[in-house]
Amino acid sequence: MSLKGKHIVLGVTGSIAAYKSALITRLLIKKGAEVQVVMTPSGKEFITPLTLSTLSGKPVISEFFASKDGTWNSHVELGLWADAMLIAPATASTIGKMAVGIADNMLITTYLSMKAPIFAAPAMDLDMFAHITTQQNLETLKSHGVHIIEPTTGELASHLEGKGRMEDPEKIVDILEKFFETDNILDKKKVLITAGPTYERLDPVRFIGNFSTGKMGFALANECAERGAEVILISGPTSQTISHPNIKRIDVESAQEMYDAALEYFPEVDIAILSAAVADYRPKVATYEKIKRTETDNLTITLVPNPDIAAALGNQKKPGQKMIGFALETNDEEENAQKKMTKKNLDFIVLNSLKDTGAGFGYDTNKITILSAEGRKQSFALKTKKEVSKDIIDFAFG
């Protein structure tokens, strides 16, 4: 039973579908999970805390302060306790607050403190669900890594027919079960991930670099950590942030610094995912003073090769270690990716093309094809980088 012993925070909001949260609680308990219900104030108008506390065996949490004696409910502790948070039903109001971080109730503060994977099952009338604001909020949550359990089409509280009916409790619990069945693919594995660009200094104020943001590498780091891996994330300069306690971040600037860090940690890991956009060349000479502009002379910069991180790790790879590389191509994409995989002794290579709209540097989305050294191949549609990271891990290790 994949839910046995799991700690689930069940968020209940003010929707007529809140009555289904009682069945969700009962099903989760029967599967062996521990359930802590957190309700919004309006949720109590639709189902009583007494019902849910009886089913869960735990007092329902709704207010920040438990009583007038100074005791309070810690959303931070809930975020650390949980293996998953499920918000079912999730109203348009709660979805909007989640998307922009309006922490005006215990449920939203718990959501903002949550370290574990988060699932949300929308429930609302068809016009509210179809509204552009709701759809934009849902896309925002997806980009933040929230798993959206799509509502179904059926009769709604308004007696209209349309999409907005919360998914059935049995299917919601089944989705959680399937998630935890695959969640332990990387349990107790050590994973090295490189991410972001490298900057190669010309002088104290200028550098040669690229447009990488590190979004893909950071999504992979979070995905691996959520699946139980201990992650060493070696990142070039980027504004991306991490919060998962299983991720150790090492910041570097240049290709040489990334090379040194990768070689230091590679012997102790099971898997290396090389998603960084490492500069192939660096200036032969970097000056200690700012290069001044002149009116007549052209500036000539001599470039020399940087060390090849993937090739170096591929040469050192031991039996049992796996390596995943990336290939961003503009022409002869698959042929070039195959050559790179063979040359650098990779087990898998993730190919994307700048010809695909929404793929490559700077986007929140990516469109990939994964190739394996054993001859497997799978292409995927344009997805968020969070979803792409799941596809990569599932293809390589699922």
Q: Copy the structure tokens of residue 120.
A: 């949300």
User: Of 210, 222, 306, 336, which residue is the catalytic one?
Assistant: 210
Give the pLDDT confidence score for residue 73 in this predicted structure: 65
pTM for the model stands at 0.63
Q: Convert the pLDDT of each residue in 300-354 to its tens digit.
A: 899 999 999 999 999 999 999 999 999 988 788 899 999 999 999 999 999 988 7
Give the pLDDT confidence score for residue 224 in this predicted structure: 92
Give the pLDDT confidence score for residue 160 in this predicted structure: 87
Give the pLDDT confidence score for residue 329 in this predicted structure: 83
Which parts of the chain have pLDDT scores under 70? Answer: 1, 65-73, 182-184, 295-296
Give the pLDDT confidence score for residue 245 in this predicted structure: 81
**Structural domains of the chain ordered from first start:** 7-183 (3.40.50.1950), 190-397 (3.40.50.10300)
Q: Convert the pLDDT of each residue in 30-84 to its tens digit.
A: 999 999 999 999 999 999 999 999 999 999 998 876 656 555 667 778 888 999 9
Q: Is 388 exposed, middle or buried (0-12, 13-18, 19+ CB in 10 A)?
A: buried
**For this structure, is 210 an active site residue?**
yes
At CB < 8 A and 24+ separation, what contacts does 313-319 make? Answer: 313/262, 313/263, 313/266, 313/272, 313/274, 314/344, 314/345, 314/346, 315/345, 316/263, 316/266, 316/267, 317/345, 318/267
Give the pLDDT confidence score for residue 123 in this predicted structure: 95
